[in-house]
Structure 1
């Protein structure tokens, strides 16, 4: 082989080697570490103005609220429905949380009122976006977070993260949780906002999802 061909072959081999190295470095840089990701997500959740949320159970986890769905804004006003286990029977409650007053009704009868603190003893949706209680604190205090991969959640690209989540913080959002949970979180790759949380526990699991971030939410009291 001529010296010219040897030189060309060496240059080509070097270019392929550099391309391979730069590709690996780019891939590594594109995926944040677990601690970096949950901290970035906590910061992103601090700026959320509103969201739609769902909470549902699979199996028989030891929580009183079996299902919830609604809308919430950063001031703490919310509306939606809650399905509560009352001595083995499921009771669905429609609610409108406006200021310090909750307007609610069951399957029959008209609307009644209770205080925000009374609702909080059952389920407090306003805690979700409260930066001192809810998702922000859950993410900020997540232990040993690890990025396990990438998935789509309802068509949105997300990182899947495993972490140990504080019982004390979780219980403000999901009353009845009595221990820390080794859960899974899905974080939007673009916005860093939390899309989903899977919370396994004795007897089953609780799944919480979020969407419609920053879609305006104006909650008004229902007509009597």
Structure 2
């Protein structure tokens, strides 16, 4: 075979390989859904959620009072779990049961005590997360400049990774102490459009919120030994 034919064969082979890798120009970022469409669909999907499990944790030293939380939430507003709160430089872990307008809570020592929901909200009210008028639904609906960055796993599920600027006013209800809007990253479930994870960088560190067990029934039963 002549040198010219070898050269032509090599070029054809290279072009064929390039076409196979790029899918004819239809793959890559261009094939991803737009950021505005994803956050809109996710906001709508979160509005129908009946219950969820959640975790919140901090990395570094962000200026937020709640350093760690985990629990279960119902759309009706009931919730249970634990929160770790920074009280004048000391970490206090609190176990809580939120039923109706009453919070049953317990620190490291002593028995359960009671607070009203309004008293709890001055510290941290996790039920706001699924409140369609205040929580995740509004956070997604008001996200600014959302951009789809790619696809990856989040919590074992296939997800779209989306960057967006998130409202300080809405976030403050869910992560008390925030004093700034956040350029965050969201992971949105490809199958259900529900939010799986949010990474929220801020001064001093970050807050990471994750969700699981969507629509698994949650029945919160207050402890029997709670005292006024």
Same fold (TM over 0.5): yes
Structure 2 regions of 5+ residues with no counterpart? 1-18
Q: Is 1:71 matched up with 2:72?
A: yes
Match of 1:119 in 2: 120
Q: Does 1:45 align with 2:25?
A: no
How far did residue 154 of structure 1 move?
Answer: 2.4
Q: RMSD in angstroms over aligned alpha carbons?
A: 2.1
Over residues 186-216 of structure 1, what are the superposed CA-to-partner deviations in whole Å (9 max), with x where a residue is unaligned? 0001100000000000000000000000000
Number of aligned pairs?
210
| Change beyond 3 A, Cα 1:24–1:89 | same
The answer to whether residue 195 in structure 2 is matched with residue 212 in structure 1 is no
Aligned-pair distance for 1:29?
A: 7.8
Q: Which residue of 2 aligns with 1:103?
A: 104
Task: Find the aligned partners of 1:142 and 1:21 in 2 and give their Cα distance.
Answer: 31
The match for 1:142 is: 143
Report the Cα offset of residue 24 of structure 1. Answer: 4.2
Native 8 Å contact 2:22 2:28 kept in 1: no
Return closer, same or farther for 1:19/1:59 CA change in 2, 3 Å cut-off.
Answer: closer
CA distance in structure 1 between the partners assigned to 2:186 and 2:132 by the alignment: 18
2: distance between equivalents of 1:169 and 1:157? 27
Report what 1:168 is aligned to: 169
TM-score (norm 2): 0.87
> In 1, Cα distance between the equivalents of 2:29 and 2:150?
12
In the alignment, what sits opposite 1:131? 132
State the distance in 1 between where 2:31 and 2:41 align.
14
The normalised TM-score by structure 1 is 0.88
| Corresponding residue SS for 1:218 | coil
Where in structure 1 are there 5+ consecutive unaligned residues?
A: 1-17
Residues 166-189 of structure 1 deviation map (CA, whole Å, 9 limit, x = unaligned):
000000000000010000000001
Distance 1:61 1:26, change over 3 A: closer
In 1, the alpha carbon distance for the partners of 2:217 and 2:171 equals 26
